[in-house]
Structure 1
Amino acid sequence: MTVHTAGVVTPTDLGAYAIDGLPQVAYFALGGTIASVPPAPGEPAQPGLSAAQIAGSIDGLDQVAQIDGVDLMKVSSARLTLEHVLQLRDAAAAAVDDGATGVVVSQGTDSLEETAYALDVVWDRAEPVVLTGAMRNPSLLSPDGAANLMAAVRTAASPQARDQGALVVLNDEVHAARYVRKTHTSSVATFQSPAVGRLGWVVEDRVEVALRVPRTPPLTVPADVTIPPVALVTMALGDDGRLLSGLPDLGYEGVVLAAMGGGHVAVEWVEPLRALAARMPVVLASRSGAGEVLSATYGYPGSEVALLRAGLLRAGGLDPLKARIRLQLALAAGVPVTEAFATTGTSSGPVTTPTR
């Protein structure tokens, strides 16, 4: 195995990973539970393991692929930013240019659904980027990180994962970044795709992709661009929306509204949202967790019809977190927001069964 740290390439004592005939998989370690251990017995875990240590602890990994491990950064997932995602995209693209069959990224699971979707939006290669992590750190009973990394490497090396953009693999399940969500704070089965279900699974030494999602045109976002701030506002019972009018003065350049149900708010929100949409893009999403924002079902004040007529843009089937990512990246890329949300991929075509 080869490990890169701060631009220096050094051999490790993990054995000969470059085995003829095996696919090459680039592995980028960012920290998170999979890399976390207690600094002393009885203390809370924190990131400390390197890519070499994580990969080197997994028996048989060297029989699946040639692993090129990179300690790109070591941060908690709550500290990751879109600037980090663009840095990761460029590093992954360079690895593919150097011959990698696929790319694996391990990170904390708290923001994994967001970084996975952001990578999916800006990834323009056929080779897959597979994100994984762990819910139980290595010091706990039945830690899941090793199994998740093995499954992720198998997926990244599989021809079935090509042309699927960014994927999320944990608990031996393969999910599309566009649909996956973290649904539980501690369960090893936390990652689910409520709208479409898993795309595939890993069983024994095989990757089986049963469904495929249509890819959307990637957004071209330079690595050195300034990411515009976008607010995420949730409609809640009894909230009168008083914070809406203050968003422009706080420097926000866009807003995602997590509305109730199919895209509904209290009537008091309509005019403030209309005024806001006249100054910046406002995207209408649903806080429900699955399903598309409606467009023509309800016509009462505060309905989706009223909000779309007020100038809000429909998020389709993107949940609020992913809609915010897409809006930020579209603004950073200089792409018209109406165009960016017309091609989210959530309603452009069905999930399909692969042709064997």
Structure 2
Amino acid sequence: MALGGTISVPGGARGTRLTGAEITAAVPGLAELGVPVEVRDVQAVPSGDLTFAQVLDVVAIASRAVADGADGVVVTQGTDTLEETAFLIDLVWPHEAPFVLTGAMRQPAMAGADGPANVLAAVRVAAAGESRGAGPLVVLNDEVHAARWVRKTHSTNPAAFASPNTGPLGHVVEGRVRMLLAAPRHEPLSAAFDRERLEAARVALHVVTLDDDGARLEGLEATYQGLIVAGFGVGHVPAALAPRLGALAERMPVVLTSRTGSGSVLRHTYHAPGSEADLRRRGLIDGAFLDPYKARVLLRLLLAAGAGPQDIAEEFALRG
């Protein structure tokens, strides 16, 4: 299934995007794989314009394809939000069949365009028996990453995607899919969300910075139903900010994560005002290993499903 993104931008004077058929036609060796590929165009939009609802629509289309006999699914999209859409799909994908996301860092007309190689590797992974049951995967640069862990770590490098906490699950070597690790899978959330509730489930993200007075959080509870806090290091904030976060935690779910990009927030190592232990005493939820962007995806889905405070805390304890 083809969405938009760099992989579909032809460059030059042409203003239209490449179709899925045009993208796959430019992949050397795809026809020789012996894997029948049915190509569908879904949403020709930059990944920055994708919505939760559109991604869930893609999941629904993919689920119908699997029910009709597809062995796996490949989605091409822009890389800007790939780590978030992949995790959203990971939370709701109920099938053993592989769901593989890929894209490109360079436009097709550029020297060293990486799109064709990424598509070829993604199809190999989607067709491989070793990928079954692994959940949604992200495949770029001949690396296979779990949607749960992958992050975009560079703005332009073709090797932009990495899984800082685990490394890749596998590699594509000489056309062979080699899965070296297995990511734990949890019971998926229901993908049948009421669209109005999903739209109404607004979750804010506050990245804590030096000398942060929290003024931007004033009145947040009037327009948002949840908050993700990207704290310093292991989950710290300025002491002056802690009471404001505690007050918000009395009104809505507030999840504590780290802004560092890898590693977990702690629970009880530091105890000063603004520390992780202090914030947990004030009612903040431990985001564990989830980065702020993925934590926001999970919290929004839980709120849209009508989960209460205890259920939300338990889901983060399970998936964090």
What's the TM-score once normalised by structure 2's chain length?
0.95
Deviation at 1:122, TM superposition (A): 0.8
Residue 312 (structure 1) aligned to one of 249, 274, 284: 284
**Aligned position for 1:278:** 250
> What one-letter code is carried by the residue in structure 2 that aligns with 1:235?
V
Q: 1:82 to 1:47 in 2, by over 3 A?
A: farther
**Aligned position for 1:241:** 214
- Give aligned-pair identity as a percent: 50
**Aligned position for 2:189:** 219
**Aligned position for 1:133:** 103
Matched, 1:69 2:44: no
Q: Distance in 2 between matches of 1:56 and 1:180?
A: 28
**Aligned position for 1:102:** 72
Q: Distance in 1 between matches of 2:227 and 2:171?
A: 36
Structure (1/2) with the larger helix percentage: 2
Q: Distance in 1 between matches of 2:43 and 2:249?
A: 38
Deviation at 1:334, TM superposition (A): 2.3
Q: Size of the alignment, in residue pairs?
A: 313
Name segments (4+ residues, structure 1) moved above 4 Å.
none
SS in 1 for 2:165: coil
Deviations 1:211-231 (A, max 9, x none): 011101111132543321100
Counterpart mapping for 1:3-82 below 5 A: 28-38=1-11, 40=13, 48-64=17-33, 65-82=35-52
Deviation at 1:62, TM superposition (A): 2.2
Q: Distance in 2 between matches of 1:236 and 1:81?
A: 28
The answer to whether the 8 Å contact 1:32/1:47 transfers is no
Q: Distance in 2 between matches of 1:124 and 1:342?
A: 20
**Aligned position for 1:331:** 303
Q: Distance in 1 between matches of 2:317 and 2:237?
A: 23
Counterpart mapping for 1:93-172 below 5 A: 93-172=63-142
What's the TM-score once normalised by structure 1's chain length?
0.86
Matched, 1:298 2:245: no
The answer to whether the 8 Å contact 1:232/1:258 transfers is yes
> What one-letter code is carried by the residue in structure 2 that aligns with 1:320?
P
Q: Distance in 1 between matches of 2:169 and 2:16?
A: 30
Matched, 1:268 2:243: no
SS in 2 for 1:283: strand
Matched, 1:256 2:228: yes
Unaligned runs of 5+ in 2: none
**Aligned position for 1:201:** 171
> What one-letter code is carried by the residue in structure 2 that aligns with 1:274?
G
The answer to whether the 8 Å contact 2:193/2:305 transfers is no
> What one-letter code is carried by the residue in structure 2 that aligns with 1:160?
E
Deviation at 1:60, TM superposition (A): 2.2
The answer to whether the 8 Å contact 2:151/2:162 transfers is yes
**Aligned position for 1:343:** 318
Q: Distance in 1 between matches of 2:191 and 2:69?
A: 23
Unaligned runs of 5+ in 1: 1-27, 347-356
Q: Distance in 1 between matches of 2:270 and 2:46?
A: 42
The answer to whether the 8 Å contact 1:101/1:157 transfers is yes
SS in 1 for 2:31: helix
Deviation at 1:256, TM superposition (A): 0.2
SS in 2 for 1:343: helix
> What one-letter code is carried by the residue in structure 1 that aligns with 2:28?
D
The answer to whether the 8 Å contact 2:102/2:140 transfers is yes
> What one-letter code is carried by the residue in structure 2 that aligns with 1:242?
A
The answer to whether the 8 Å contact 2:11/2:107 transfers is no
The answer to whether the 8 Å contact 2:302/2:312 transfers is yes
RMSD over aligned Cα atoms: 1.2
Deviations 1:38-76 (A, max 9, x none): 2517xxxx6610001111121321232111111011000
Q: Distance in 2 between matches of 1:123 and 1:303?
A: 36
